[in-house]
């Protein structure tokens, strides 16, 4: 998208259509990036979205209470889980092997008439519709996090927000503007354009990032 108007409309569409959103703030950007993420968290949650902040390590000490925020410190890639109900059997041994990229799993001893409907399989792990990165200059700066939540091979759209001129514009949509002193101020400026309501909690979080960046 070339024009700012088109980009705004695309962001509006992504937010509207996304049911589950993950926010990835950069650890290296400190409290400004984290505050931006929390501000977005509250605003998106108010829109009825299922939101999570993925932030490995300790929350910035100066930020304060985060008890009401859904924060995870690690990500789990999607996995295939196979479950077998072996109640009322004599099964006591489990083995597995691989051959030509095929996994063979065995449970024994099993009766001839074992009910195969007792074998279940499901995909577990995070399943997001939209990834928002905040203050991250590149894909590499996020390590495996971006890949694990579907931003590398999973086909999930990435909204990349940053105020650094070093940003590599790695998102499907990039809101990168070095004229802003902080990402928190950048988010505050764009929130209204994205039809997001700036609640008192969101404003408080964003002001923490703005003030710390300015050294207040």
For every residue of 97-125, DSSP letters joined together read EEETTEEEEEEES--TT--GGGEEEEEES
How big, in percent rounded to 5, are the helix, strand and coil portions of the chain? 30, 25, 45
Q: What is the pLDDT of residue 125?
A: 64
Residues 21 and 108 placed together within one structural domain of the fold: no
Whether the predicted pLDDT of 79 surpasses 80: no
Residues 204 and 186 placed together within one structural domain of the fold: yes
Residues 20 and 85 placed together within one structural domain of the fold: no
Residues 40 and 91 placed together within one structural domain of the fold: no
Residues 178 and 92 placed together within one structural domain of the fold: no
Q: What percentage of the chain has pLDDT greater than the value 90?
A: 55
Give the domain-ending residue among 124, 154, 182: 124
Residues 133 and 63 placed together within one structural domain of the fold: yes
Q: Which tens digit of pLDDT belongs to each residue from 180-211?
A: 999 999 999 999 999 999 999 999 999 999 98
Q: Which tens digit of pLDDT belongs to each residue from 127-160?
A: 889 999 999 999 999 888 887 777 555 688 999 9
Report yes or no: 44 and 51 within 8 Å, Cβ to Cβ: yes
Q: What percentage of the chain has pLDDT greater than the value 70?
A: 92
Identify the residue with better confidence: 162 or 212.
Answer: 162
Number of structural domains in the chain: 2
Residues 117 and 165 placed together within one structural domain of the fold: no
Whether the predicted pLDDT of 36 surpasses 50: yes
d(CA 9, CA 43): 18
Residues 22 and 70 placed together within one structural domain of the fold: yes
Residues 140 and 177 placed together within one structural domain of the fold: yes
Peptide bond into 194 cis (omega under 30): no
Query: Mean of the pLDDT values across residues 73-82?
Result: 70
Q: What is the pLDDT of residue 1?
A: 46
Residues 120 and 130 placed together within one structural domain of the fold: no
What pTM did the predictor assign?
A: 0.77
Give the domain-ending residue among 98, 124, 150: 124
Residues 132 and 187 placed together within one structural domain of the fold: yes
Report yes or no: 139 and 160 within 8 Å, Cβ to Cβ: no
Residues 117 and 130 placed together within one structural domain of the fold: no
Q: Judging by beta carbons within 10 Å of its beta carbon (0-12, 13-18, 19+), is residue 86 exposed, middle or buried?
A: middle
Domain around 59: 4-75+126-213
Q: Which tens digit of pLDDT belongs to each residue from 40-55?
A: 999 999 999 999 999 9
Report yes or no: 85 and 118 within 8 Å, Cβ to Cβ: yes
């Amino acid at each position: 998208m070339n024009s700012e108007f088109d980009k705004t409309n695309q962001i509006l569409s992504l937010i509207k259509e996304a049911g589950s959103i993950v926010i990835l703030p950069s650890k290296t950007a400190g409290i400004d990036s984290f505050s931006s993420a929390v501000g977005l968290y509250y605003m998106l949650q108010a829109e009825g979205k299922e939101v999570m902040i993925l932030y490995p390590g300790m929350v910035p000490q100066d930020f304060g209470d985060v008890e009401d925020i859904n924060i995870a410190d690690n990500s789990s890639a999607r996995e295939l889980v196979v479950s077998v109900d072996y109640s009322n059997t004599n099964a006591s041994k489990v083995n597995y092997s691989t051959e030509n990229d095929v996994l063979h799993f065995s449970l024994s001893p099993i009766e001839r008439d074992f009910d195969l409907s007792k074998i279940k399989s499901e995909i577990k792990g995070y399943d997001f519709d939209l990834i928002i990165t905040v203050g991250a200059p590149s894909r590499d700066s996020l390590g495996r996090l971006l890949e694990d939540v579907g931003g590398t091979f999973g086909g999930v759209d990435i909204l990349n927000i940053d105020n650094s001129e070093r940003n590599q514009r790695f998102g499907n949509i990039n809101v990168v503007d070095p004229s802003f002193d902080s990402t928190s101020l950048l988010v505050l400026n764009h929130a209204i354009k994205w039809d997001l309501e700036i609640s008192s909690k969101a404003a408080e979080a964003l002001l923490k990032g703005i003030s710390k960046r300015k050294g207040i």
